[in-house]
Chain A
Amino acid sequence: MPSVSMTVNGKQVGGEVESRTLLVEFLRNQLGLTGTHVGCDTSQCGCCVVHVDGRSVKACTMLAVQAAGSQVTTIEGLARNGQLHPVQAAFREHHGLQCGFCTPGMIMSAVDLLQHNANPTEAEVREWLEGNLCRCTGYHNIVKAIMAAAADMSGHAKAAE
């Protein structure tokens, strides 16, 4: 079996995996990072979105060996020093969740959006989220949360200038 090593949530990790092992299986089964969920097994629902080298990726559509040498961030690695990422805080405060199953993927997608489009319009948020399904909320509060997080983050950015 090939061995693989990568950086996950800032920590160097490695292990032997079958070459067919998906990144999501490696994260969940070998590293115990179960915040990344499996919803549809077929790269459509977006529950398994993580960041690989800073970009959002559906972890069920990528092999673990393809992520070798990469920097991977999962939902567990988003908060820093016990402080929620602004997008996490906004999802919590604006009720952008119900059953919570889609939430980690939704947040990871949203964080990626805000990384390259700090002030998206509502329409841009909606279009970006087309690869993330939610069956509970009707997306209303999810979009609200992301807009609020964008405002919060650009406010902080301005204050820092």
Chain B
Amino acid sequence: MSERIVGGVHEARVHDSAHKHVTGAAVYVDDIPEPARTVQVHIGQSARAHARLVRMDLDAVRRAPGVVAVLTAADIPGVNDLSAVHAHDEPVFAVDKVMFAGQALFAVAAETRLQARRAAALAVVEYADLPPVLDTDTARAAGDLVWPIGRMQRGDAPAALARAPRRLQGRMTIGGQEHFYLEGMVALAVPGEDGDVLVHCSTQHPSEGQLLIAQVLGVPSHAVTVECRRMGGAFGGKETHANLFAAVAALVARATGRPAKCRLDRDDDMIMTGKRHDFTIDYEVGFDETGVIKAVAMDFASRCGWSADLSGPVNDRALFHADNCYFYENVRLACFPCRTNMVSATAFRGFGGPQGVVAAERVIEEVAFALGLDPLDVRKRNFYGRAERNLTPYHQAIEDNIIHELVEELERTSNYRARRDEIRAWNRTSRWQRRGLALTPVKFGISFTMTAYNQAGALLHVYRDGSIQLNHGGTEMGQGLYVKVAQVVAEELQVDIDRIRLTATNTSKVPNTSATAASSGSDLNGMAAQAAARTIKERLTAFAAARAQASAEEVVWLPGRIRVKGEEILFDKLVHDAYFARIQLSATGFYATPKIHWSREEGRGRPFYYYAYGAACSEVTVDTLTGEHRVDRVDILHDVGRSLNPAIDLGQVEGGFIQGMGWLTMEELWWDADGRLRTHAPSTYKIPCASDRPPVFNVRLMEGVANREPTIHRSKAVGEPPLMLAISVLHAISDAVASIADHKLPPRLDPPATPEKVLAAIERLRASDSGGAP
């Protein structure tokens, strides 16, 4: 008998769909064979960013070839609202007023996709333009916020700023980011009897989709089933923004009695769906001559777009991470979620957290330049303490701090100090090219700050032949959630993983699930699946014990079998016998994260169950004539606790880093003065490609750091935190630019650090250094 199961926890397993991915057999929503009589749906969009809708004449659309139905707000049987946060500000189809260019006005269903698109173009829409609000200052001045101001404070920041030996202030902007999941938004709705509808949808949140579709159709949730086997990438973009297309497909299915598919093409996807929030941050810092921060005050204003969506919690998470790894003796933070006439900004890997961390690192850089210190020394001087100086701006004490040892290890293994000296010397001899180096840390809080979301369910069936079917509320978007949760079940029942079949996430199997988001997928669903497996295991143990007239303690679970009173019984046989003894072989499991609570009104609580840590050291070369840069080397050390699957986790770290690098250095969203997004295809919006990845890329998971909290096998969440490791690239570019003025002046490089921005910073430093105006 084997002494170890195949596919248990902590094993580096390939992705459960890997074989299907490499053979083209993996089925995405658009690959599902279309049922007979399926109609294709196209959504007619607003051409204006802000206007009254004077007239919408759709007669020509209705008469166009192939058109089966045209639906507007008047055709919605239930409620014309998709706000996931009950802000009631997100109509499916616009009524009276349009709030952004690309807003849905109507839907056309036709026999073919091309017919639907062509028909939609025949709509006659008359607008009375209103001035679009496109910046945070205007929105703040008008008091037009999508969510109330959020505040966190500890100590007395204004007083401490006033008495600090040194004091600095500034403003920075941080760009947004398009998700650019390779699979665009898609939903296929199939009508059933009694008004039922089954919606196959590429979504991170099937339960929310179900709830909102039901609301739009005016039916109870039990009439709507949402299913998602896998997504071709999501990154937060399919948390709430998949709902519109699912709801429209369901509406068309209901109205026509025919299956309806809505698949967006890339340009429509980029125009109609939300992005990472961009921010403008006003900061002030007080510090002493050694670089210790005494007080920080920061105002975060973001362009949230036309509706609330998730902007409240996104802005809050920016504040939650405005400390990064640093203790602020006195702190006052505020966020202003501004309404702008743009597509609604939404969740994106990190959910506001990365913007908070970028701001924290800017403050560190300011202090370092003001004092002529190495930024890494300023960072280390301000790290949270282990037992003291460990209170966050939201009054949660940090109990699991490992940033000191993590950064020390990376500083050593990346050879930071020696390379820094070498680079400084090299720069003195280089006329046009400059190199830069930076080592930045990350601390990221794990849990949904909306406490209720921290729950999960699972459903486990063991069949008479010993095969196992597993379902849970988490969705698979490539992150390897399914394989990790299967590993948990394999471990619990001591069976090889091949015995376990994962089934598509489906609201009729596990109800009331949370979004697969906030990096929480395996933490929550792993625990829920483990609970279900334990229930089965306990029943089987009790059965085997009773039959052998033994105690439960005498039943020992071994790989593929149990042993009781010296007799070994194979799992198959045990299950077979248990069935005939009428033992229930199906179980649900449930998990709710303990310890957490949060009051937004008081700005106080323990929103996070634990923290994940990491650090990266990046080296770049900047061409000072063009502003272009190249990333030469990156060293990463990241904390995932005891990894459930190191291969999957390393992939998350590598991919997150490159995605973060794209955000901070090359991806630039551009809206024109009329509020139209002009970067809506890969031709104008550049994400990293294979040649952008650094030639030297050393990525390691930190060893010997089990999660202090009893998470699933002491692992830690890994989805979002690595994105912020890329802040080291931004600061390495900044370091290279700073060499222009001999590291005496801060480059204040606002991301994305595009060649234009880098060149502007170089010119500014050159002018200042030669005595010109700063």
Chain A residues within 8 Å of B, Cβ to Cβ:
28, 32-42, 44-45, 47, 74-76, 78-79, 84, 88-89, 91-93, 95, 97-104, 107, 122-123, 125-130, 132-143
Contacts and interface: CB of A to CB of B under 8 A. Distances in A.
A13 B253 CA distance: 33
Q: Mostly helix, strand, loop or mixed at chain B's interface?
A: loop
Contact of A99 (B25, B30, B232): B232
In which size bucket is the chain B interface? 35 or more
Interface in B251-276: 265-267
10 A-B pairs with least C-beta separation: A35-B24, A99-B478, A101-B232, A138-B658, A100-B21, A98-B478, A75-B24, A34-B31, A129-B690, A101-B182
Given A37-B232, A92-B14, A100 B26 contact: yes
A99 B82 CA distance: 27
Nearest to A108: B24
A109 to B, nearest CB: 10
A141 B654 contact: yes
Interface in B16-30: 17-28, 30
A148 B15 CA distance: 18
Given A36-B24, A98-B655, A99-B477, A126 B232 contact: no
B266 A135 contact: no
B353 to A, nearest CB: 19
B683 interface: yes
Q: Output the residue of B182, B234, B266, B651 with the most chain A CB within 10 A.
A: B182
B699 to A, nearest CB: 7
A104 B30 contact: no
A139 B182 contact: no
A133 B24 contact: no
A141 B22 contact: no
A133 B682 contact: yes
Contacts of B693: 126, 138-140, 143
Given A39-B266, A101-B182, A141-B651, 15 more contacts: A35-B24, A37-B232, A42-B681, A76-B24, A98-B15, A99-B234, A100-B478, A101-B183, A101-B232, A103-B22, A123-B695, A134-B690, A136-B233, A136-B478, A138-B688
Nearest to A142: B690
Given A37-B182, A104-B24, A92 B697 contact: no
B18 A97 contact: yes
Contacts of A42: 266-267, 681-683
Contacts of B477: 99
A88 B19 CA distance: 8
Nearest to A41: B265
Contact of B647 (A35, A79, A95, A126): A95
Nearest to B178: A135
A145 B673 CA distance: 45
Contact of B230 (A41, A100, A142): A100
B480 A35 contact: no
B22 A99 contact: no
Given A101-B233, A103-B21, A133-B689, A39 B683 contact: no
Nearest to A90: B22
A88 B22 contact: yes
Interface string B645-659: 001101100111111
A107 B23 CA distance: 9
B690 A33 contact: no
A21 B377 CA distance: 61
Contacts, number: 185
B93 interface: no
A109 B730 CA distance: 32
Contacts of A92: 14, 18-19, 21-22
B739 to A, nearest CB: 27
Contacts of B647: 95
B611 interface: no
Given A99-B233, A130-B690, A88 B654 contact: no
13 contacts: A34-B27, A35-B23, A35-B24, A40-B681, A41-B267, A45-B182, A45-B682, A74-B24, A75-B22, A76-B24, A101-B181, A126-B691, A129-B690
Contacts of A37: 28, 30, 182-183, 232
A135 B181 contact: yes
B651 A95 contact: yes
Contacts of A75: 22-24
A34 B651 contact: no
B690 A132 contact: yes
Given A104-B24, A136-B655, A140-B654, A44 B480 contact: no
A142 B235 CA distance: 20
Contacts of A140: 651, 654-655, 658, 693, 697, 699
A84 B230 contact: no
Contacts of A122: 695
B235 A135 contact: yes
A69 to B, nearest CB: 24
A139 B28 CA distance: 22
B33 interface: yes
Nearest to B231: A99
Contacts of A28: 31
Given A36-B24, A42-B681, A99-B478, A129 B655 contact: no
A74 B24 CA distance: 9
B613 interface: no
Contacts of A34: 24, 27-28, 30-31
Contacts of B697: 140
B87 to A, nearest CB: 29
Nearest to B113: A25
Nearest to B478: A99
Given A39-B182, A39-B266, A99-B181, A44 B691 contact: no
Contacts of B153: none
Contact of A130 (B26, B480, B689): B689
Interface in B670-695: 681-683, 687-691, 693, 695
B22 to A, nearest CB: 4
B180 interface: yes
B23 A102 contact: no
A134 B651 CA distance: 13
A136 B232 CA distance: 9
Contacts of B265: 41
Contacts of B180: 133, 135
Contacts of B18: 91-92, 95, 97, 100
A93 B18 CA distance: 8
Nearest to A129: B690
B266 A40 contact: yes
A35 B25 contact: yes
Contacts of A39: 182-184, 232, 266
Nearest to B653: A138
A133 B654 contact: no
B479 interface: yes
B357 to A, nearest CB: 19
Contacts of A47: 182
A111 B516 CA distance: 35
Interface in B224-251: 230-235
Nearest to B20: A100
A135 B659 contact: yes
A34 B33 CA distance: 9
A103 B26 CA distance: 10
